Copies of this chain bind each other. A is one copy, B any other.
Amino acid sequence: MSLIGLEHEWVHVDILNQETHSEAFKAMNPNAKIPVLKVSDENYLWESNAILNFLAEGTSWLPDSDLERARVLQWQFFEQYSHEPYIAVARFIRKYLGLPDDRLDEYRSKQTGGHKALSVMELQLTETDYLCGNLPSIADISLYAYTHVAEEGGFSLEKYTAINAWLNRIEKLPGYIAQQ
């Protein structure tokens, strides 16, 4: 939202205290997950990548042609199935749960899949500045999110030269706000 200068109100939801499981929250998203976008009193939109597509419509963050739009979605579905379940889940277990013994096997099992996802990104970013070509799109936002904190999940980014250059490129875009 800051990248496109869109005014909004941010409401924090404490997932560690199960706030997504209240009846009031489930009335907005029956799947009990953040984020949720309130579009109007009657319309709530859930799933981060669907929200990004909705907000980016008509901006340079979402291209015009059918194939380019589908390419953005390709990387966003890759993020949800092949990247987040490894990198974000490993980070959650380590950073938020403190790497408890009963999650250690699961944590370790995430390493191979996480590095596979990073390798697929590295290959693309060796060819183009951004995931969908030489301009940034919402696919970059989706994958920047957990990639730039992958080290908190135990994934060293040292060997991924193209990913590091891409992270730097994104962090210099007008409107970029560093994580608080």
Binding site for B on A (CB under 8 A): 30-31, 33, 39, 43, 45-51, 53-54, 57, 66-67, 69-71, 73-74, 76-78, 80-82, 84-85, 116-117, 119-120, 123-124
Contacts and interface: CB of A to CB of B under 8 A. Distances in A.
A41 B50 CA distance: 30
Nearest to A85: B85
A31 B78 contact: yes
A77 B78 contact: no
A51 B117 CA distance: 20
Given A31-B82, A67-B39, A71-B45, A77 B54 contact: no
A163 to B, nearest CB: 14
A156 to B, nearest CB: 21
A84 B70 CA distance: 20
| Most chain B CB inside 10 Å of its own CB: which residue of A31, A39, A45, A117 | A31
Contacts of A124: 30
Contacts of A54: 66-67, 69-70
